[in-house]
Structure 1
């Protein structure tokens, strides 16, 4: 992952535009993993970067800006899930494939896309406490320590959730017809 440039010498507008280009898509995928709706994920992502713009001057630098942005995104997503509006939404959108591969044949491409979609649907079936840690750890490649700092959950608890989440994910994936 590209590390942040010296954004402190830029205006807030330029810094936020830079962070949006650098992290925008992964933040949108993260928020989608919580809300399971692309339009809501886009709205929350926009809210994350508005918050970043208004709070950029308060960043203390105790962690990487990426971790701070993820923390904002996680909190905004959880706020949405607790909101009245969320309880009234029907979830119909599908998760896009999370990984890119370079298959050698059309048949392999179709199989990989099918497996990716099945895995993504299986991840979305996980309870939120497991889904959160699985996505942050495996897809966004944060360490357990970083996830702990972002979520306020102890590393031991996160490790347990990661193991249980992985086991549940395997069961769900196999139940949905995935290959072992």
Structure 2
């Protein structure tokens, strides 16, 4: 696979592919891991583990899926492993998923928007993992139902059901917070 075109690009070595994967999907992997572990430093650790695993398994990659879905699958598995581990401790929310987003609005509007964003994110992160995972992939990563199916191996009807149920739970939590979005 190394000598072949890779998603429209030609790479000559595993190192080159790894650099591309890290540049292309590094931020996404950290955000996805954060949605599971709710801690920035743990998410960064998971991201490192994901790319180490990807590097070690590049020769075994058969191209049956895109590198993007392959990386997502590794990230989800590593994140779930971390959540299940005895060393894992829940840490209170201290950052938002995308802290580097720029805005051209006034400071007051931006403060209110960030406060609402934090409340929404806290509500999402408080959902059971089976709903949180689907909501995160659908809304934050903007994946389609069939892409989520490829990544999670969950039946598409189950994904749709969890998306509906997750949105309802989120709506109830946000109503309880008196937050209008």
Given the two structures, how large is their TM-score scaled by the length of structure 2? 0.89
TM-score (norm 1): 0.89
Aligned length: 175
Distance in 1 of aligned mates of 2:85 and 2:135: 24
- 1:75-132 per-residue CA deviation (whole Å, 9 max, x = no partner) reads 111111222212xx24134231548463432221111111111111111011100000
Aligned to 2:9: 6
Instruction: Give the structure 1 partner of residue 122 of structure 2.
Output: 121
1:92-111 alignment runs, 5 A limit:
92-98=92-98, 100=101, 102-111=103-112
The whole-number CA distance in structure 2 between the counterparts of 1:101 and 1:82 is 35
Matches within 5 A, 1:157-172: 157-172=158-173
Greater helix content: 1
Q: How far did residue 48 of structure 1 move?
A: 0.1
Cα deviation for residue 5 of structure 1 reads 4.8
Runs of 4+ in 1 over 3 A off after TM superposition: 97-101
Alignment match, 1:49: 51
1:1-180 map, 5 Å: 4-7=7-10, 9-86=11-88, 89-98=89-98, 100=101, 102-180=103-181
Give structure 1 stretches of 5+ with no counterpart: none
Q: Displacement of 1:49 after TM fit?
A: 0.2
**Structure 2: gaps (5+ residues):** 1-5
Task: Report if the CA contact (8 A) 1:123-1:131 is conserved.
Answer: yes
Contact 1:133 1:162 in 2 (8 A): yes
Tell me the secondary structure at the aligned position of residue 85 of structure 1.
coil
